[in-house]
A = this chain, B = another copy of it.
Amino acid sequence: MLGIQNAPFLITTGNPMSTIDIGLVGVGKIACDQHLPAIDSSPDFRLVATADPHSRLDGVDGYDSLAAMLNGVPGLQAVAICTPTHLRYSQARIALEHGKGVLLEKPPGATLSEVEDLISQADRQGCPLFAAWHSRFAPGVAAAREWLAEKAIHRVEIEWKEDVRVWHPGQAWIWEPGGMGVFDPGINALSIVTRILPRAFFLREASLQVPSNCQTPIAAELSFSDAQDTPIHAAFDFRQTGPQTWDIHVDTDDGRLSLTHGGSRLVIGRQVVLEAEEREYAGLYARFAELVRAGTSDVDVAPLRHVADAFLYGHREIVDAFVE
C-alpha cells in the first residue's frame, strides 16, 4: 500500500534534512484514512513500522505492541499514536521514556490530568510532544487567525452539525465515557475557534442533550464569553441529516468573517478569500517535523479543557434513545 521502504529516494530528495523514521501505534480507521496517506506524501517522514495487536500493513514491519516495535526498531525517532483515546496515555508514556518524539491524535487524552502528566514527562525527557488538532490545519484557519488578530470582535456563531450515522457508523465507543458524543466532532470546532480568536474564552452556560441509552451528549448548546464579554455561541448536533454544517461566523467592526466547510472556505465581507481542498494531515505532519527537528513540544489543552468544562458545568437533559 505504501511502499515507502522500497522508495529510498524519498530520503534524499525534496528536503535538505534527512527524513524522520516514524512508527505508527494503532492501525485503525483514522490511521488508514489520514495518517498513512499524509506520511506517504510527506517529504519529512518515513514510515518504518507499525504497532497494533490486530492489524498490520503490507510492506511495513508490523509489531504486536509498541514495546516490541521499540525493541525491533531502535533507530525510530518518532511515533504517531492513533489508538483509542483511553490507551493514548500509556502508549505515549512508553514512547517518551524511550526518548521518542510523540504525536497524539485528537483528543490528546481521555482526561486533562493525564495530558498534563505527559507534558511534564516530555519536558523532563526533553522529547517533542505534539497534541495534533487536525482541524487547525484546515486551509482557511491561518488566514482567519491573521485577519482577526487586529479586529474588535462583536459576536461569534459556531454551528457544527453532522449525521453520526454517516460519519461514525458502528462506533459505539462514542457513546461511552471518554467518547465525548457530539463533542468528538465539536472539539474540532473548538480547536479552530481557540486558534483564530485573539482572546481566550470560557463557558457561561451549556445544555447537553443525552440520549436515554447513552453516556455522552448527542447535541449541545454552549454559550461562551471572553474577558471583553464577547458573546460566543456554539450549537453542536449529531442528528443532522441532509446538508452537513461545519461553520464559524465572526462579526467584527470590519465586517463578517465566515470560515465554513470545516475551515476549507473563508469569506470575509462578500469576498471569497480562499476555497481549497482539505489537506489537514499534510500540514499536521509538516508541523510535527518542525517540532521533532527543533526538539520542542506543542500541546494546547484548551479544546479538551472546554469539553471538560461543558461536562462539568453543562445542564443535562435526557432525550430519546439513540438507535443506529
A interface residue numbers (CB < 8 A to B):
89, 93, 110-114, 116-117, 120-121, 176-178, 180, 200-203, 206, 215, 226-227, 302, 305-309, 311-316
Contact = CB atoms under 8 A, between A and B. Distances in A.
A21 to B, nearest CB: 26
Contacts of A302: 113, 116
Contact of A177 (B113, B120, B307, B315): B315
Contact of A117 (B117, B200, B313): B200
A306 B308 CA distance: 10
The 4 closest A-B pairs by CB, nearest first: A113-B202, A111-B309, A308-B308, A114-B202
Contacts of A176: 315
Contacts of A308: 112, 305, 308-309, 311-312
Contacts of A305: 112-113, 116, 308
B117 A203 contact: no
Nearest to A115: B202
A95 to B, nearest CB: 13
Contact of A110 (B110, B226, B313): B313
A178 B315 CA distance: 9
Contacts of A227: 93, 117, 121
29 contacts: A89-B202, A93-B227, A110-B313, A111-B202, A111-B203, A111-B313, A113-B200, A113-B201, A113-B302, A113-B306, A114-B202, A116-B202, A116-B302, A117-B226, A121-B227, A176-B315, A177-B313, A177-B314, A178-B313, A180-B312, A215-B315, A215-B316, A307-B312, A308-B309, A308-B311, A308-B312, A311-B311, A311-B312, A312-B312
A227 B123 CA distance: 14
Nearest to A121: B227
A129 B8 CA distance: 56
A112 B312 CA distance: 9
Contacts of A116: 200, 202, 302, 305
Contacts of A120: 200
Contact of A113 (B114, B178, B203, B314): B203
Contacts of A114: 202-203
A114 to B, nearest CB: 4
Contact of A312 (B111, B117, B203): B111
